[in-house]
Amino acid sequence: MTLVKDELVPVVQAGAEYVFHVPTSSFYELDATTRDVLEAVERLDSVPDSQLSAAVSGSTGADETEVTEILSDLVKLRLLVPRDTKGSADTDPTPRGTGVRNLTLHVAHNCNLNCGYCYAEAGLYKGKATLMSVERAREYVDWLFDQADPDARELGVTFFGGEPLLNFPVVETTVRYAQERAQRDGKRVRFGITTNGTLITPVISDFLRDIRATVTISVDAKGKTNDRLRPYHSGRGSYDIVMDKIQPLLESGMCAARVTVTKVNLNVVETVETLLEAGFTEVGCSPVDAKNPAYDLDGKDYAELLEGFRVLVARYVDEAAEGRRYGFSNIGNILKAVHNGHNKEYPCGAGIQMVAGAPNGNMSLCHRFVGEDEYVLGSLEAGGLDEAKRKQMLDELALKERSDCSKCWARYICSGGCHHVNFLFNGDPQKTYLTHCDWLRAWYRTGLEAYAEILQRNPAFINQFIDPGWVCRN
């Protein structure tokens, strides 16, 4: 038998050496001798394991007994493996075949803003402007609770659009109905809403606060840059109006911002700083996927975006060293993935524990696939999800089916990327959109380095803010 180095990503941070083990997403700190041993094993490619200790000792100058012990530990941790098992993954179990726990309700297929990059074409999703009826929304809630696993203690409903607050009466009625149903079924239900913020009133603010909703405001930059990207249909800008309307929610500390990054607003450092100063608890940035060269980022833009992200990560790490949490949520999410050893067959819960419900009663893979007939997984009229179609789609979307990703060290973190981005650019959610990949690998590496640096400077931060048990108290 010949032992070989398994797929490892070396990371150096402030003079310390680390390796990230790709098949398990485990992360180790090594001393210099262990690093030398690993490198020697790679050089001594075909030495049988019975002669390996002596050969490595000869190659590195390290004591053979010591080398034997290190090799034994490396084998136990699967960092050295028999050649024919290299790359054998240990992915986290996917909760397939279980009930849906999160339902995204498209309560309004219409929007009062006219963002040029919108994948839903101003919220219409290839259809006519439609508001979901109260009866339809109740049917969805009943379906969610009826099909839920008995052991699912908490279910989630997210109100989405278009602009969901164009249909606030239905949002309000649906929340009350879901709360009653949850009480009857002995479950909890939590709510989220993604809104452009322009229609928020004091009454709506009080309501969202009362139901402890997770509120995500779409806002792309400060002032005129945001206005250029997020105008009303009349062309008028929305920034000042939004910031005025959401003030009570900002003061309550219950708003996160979602920034869509385009060619127009690449200065993410300024945007994140501005929005955090304005009172958002978290700001997350996501590159646009518009299939429109006026907005989509090219290689140079991705390099600039990464540079901006790294500045924000440095701030996050400095704050973490002082025991404070900086609200740049992109790095927070990566740190959680690194901490938990995120190693998944699917990039998200689409079709697994989450589906989206359209006003016409059709249920889709996720909110972004609403309006695409091929990705309808079922309907209220048909009594719910078509389980055969759901299974087939999930089988096809699994990472192991993607040859594009088979050599990438980040594949179990990214899991092939967003199904909808792949669909938008390649016409098929199974075909990985490779334009993102260099950027994503560089970003994940930044996450590994940040995790190592925080552990060096203030390890208590990880247990306090990154460990899964931590819950935001805002």
Binding stretches for another protein (CB under 8 A): 18, 21, 24-31, 33-34, 70, 73-74, 76-79, 338-341, 343, 451-452, 455
Task: Name the residue nearer to another protein (CB basis): 4 or 77.
Answer: 77
Between 315 and 339, CB nearer to another protein: 339
Q: What gap in Å lies between CA 230 and CA 69, rounded to an integer?
A: 61
* Shortest Cβ 306–another protein spacing (Å): 23
Q: Is the peptide bond before 97 cis (omega within 30 degrees of 0)?
A: no
**What's the closest the beta carbon of residue 466 comes to another protein, in angstroms?**
10
| Paired tokens of 349 | 């819960």
The nearest distance, CB 120 to another protein, in angstroms, is: 37
CA dihedral for 164, 165, 169, 173, sign (positive or negative)? positive
Residue 26 or 114 having the CB closest to another protein:
26
Degrees, nearest 5: CA angle 283-288-292: 155
Give the nearest distance from C-beta 338 to another protein in angstroms: 6
DSSP secondary structure letter of residue 278: H
User: Dmax of the chain from CA atoms?
Assistant: 77
25: left (phi over 0), alpha (psi -120 to 50) or beta: left
Please state the closest distance from residue 13 (CB atom) to another protein, in A.
11
Measured from the CB atom, the residue of 29 and 139 that comes closer to another protein is 29
Q: Give whichever of 29 and 301 is closer to another protein, judged by the CB atom.
A: 29
Q: In 343-400, which ranges are E strands?
A: 354-357, 362-364, 376-379, 384-385
Closest distance of CB 286 from another protein, Å: 25
Q: Which is nearer to another protein, 13 or 147 (CB)?
A: 13
- Alpha-carbon distance 400 to 395, whole Å? 9
d(CA 280, CA 258): 10
- Number of other CB atoms surrounding residue 172 within 10 Å: 15
